[in-house]
């Protein structure tokens, strides 16, 4: 083992491998908690989708599938740039690390801007749950307005919590870019980049499930 990695090992670890392994396990414990957090929201979604299928179809058909698909592509590309950032850190490519982290940050911000315009559109059309909520569906006459309101409540909570995670992820990326700028990362010290990558990919996975469950119900009508 080289001296450059010796100085990075905290006194309670045997070596750098054990230290890195512990960090990975700790991150997965945190992500396990995140799985249960979003899992609870998905469970509520599932229970009410069984109870009010027409309202779910009506609400879903009104979401903008073009913007939803666009955002899905944006997030997938951002996961690729994040993975390439981890590779750059592992192989000691400082400039390409900064470039890939910046690209990930720009893509994440793009997602949030598109999400903002989707929310704004819902606000303008009174599709935000609350006293002024109003919804008429030509294709689904059986969908009660109050049940469609429940769909939109879940839509805003689920995509809102997802967007909050994206904002936190963007903050972490800025922190990494500053550290990378100072030359803090290299082949023996890349765990901060790797674990932020885990978090970023996890948020991508949540969207992988949100997109079909919210945007793609009953598109064939």
Q: For binding to other proteins (CB under 8 A), which residues are involved?
A: 17, 20-21, 24-25, 28-29, 31-32, 35-36, 39-40, 43, 46-47, 50-51, 65, 69, 72-73, 76-77, 79-80, 82-84, 87, 90-91, 194, 197-198, 201-202, 204-205, 208-209, 211-213, 216-220
Minimum distance of other proteins from residue 123's CB (angstroms): 26
Minimum distance of other proteins from residue 43's CB (angstroms): 5
Nearer to other proteins, 41 or 128 (CB): 41
Nearer to other proteins, 65 or 164 (CB): 65
Nearer to other proteins, 35 or 128 (CB): 35
Nearer to other proteins, 20 or 147 (CB): 20
* DSSP state letters, the chain: --HHHHTTS-TTSSSHHHHHHHHHHHHHHHHHHHHHHHHHHHHHHHHHHHH-HHHHHHHHHTS-HHHHHHHHHHHHHHHHHHHHHHHHHHTT-HHHHHHHHHHHHHHHHHHHHHHHHHHHHHHHTT-SSSTT-----SS-TT--HHHHHHHHHHHHHHHHHHHHHHHHHHHHHHHHHHHHHTT--BTTB-HHHHHHHHHHHHHHHHHHHHHHHHH-TTTT-
Minimum distance of other proteins from residue 91's CB (angstroms): 7
């Amino acid at each position: 083992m080289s001296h450059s990695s010796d100085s990075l090992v905290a006194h309670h670890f045997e070596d750098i491998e054990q230290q890195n392994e512990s960090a990975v396990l700790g991150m997965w414990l945190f992500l396990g908690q995140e799985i249960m957090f979003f899992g609870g929201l998905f469970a509520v979604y599932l229970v009410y989708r069984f109870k009010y299928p027409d309202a779910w179809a009506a609400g879903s058909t009104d979401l903008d599938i073009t913007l939803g698909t666009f955002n899905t592509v944006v997030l997938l590309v951002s996961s690729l740039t994040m993975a390439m950032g981890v590779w750059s850190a592992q192989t000691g490519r400082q400039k390409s690390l900064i470039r890939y982290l910046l690209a990930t940050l720009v893509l994440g911000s793009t997602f949030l801007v598109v999400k903002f315009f989707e929310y704004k559109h819902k606000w303008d059309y009174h599709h935000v749950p609350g006293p002024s909520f109003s919804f008429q569906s030509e294709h689904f006459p059986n969908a009660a307005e109050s049940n469609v309101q429940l769909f939109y409540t879940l839509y805003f909570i689920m995509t809102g919590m997802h967007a909050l995670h994206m904002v936190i992820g963007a903050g972490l990326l800025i922190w990494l870019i500053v550290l990378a700028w100072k030359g803090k990362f290299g082949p023996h010290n890349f765990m901060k980049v790797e674990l932020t990558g885990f978090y970023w990919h996890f948020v991508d996975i949540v969207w992988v499930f949100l997109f079909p469950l919210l945007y793609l119900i009953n598109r064939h009508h």
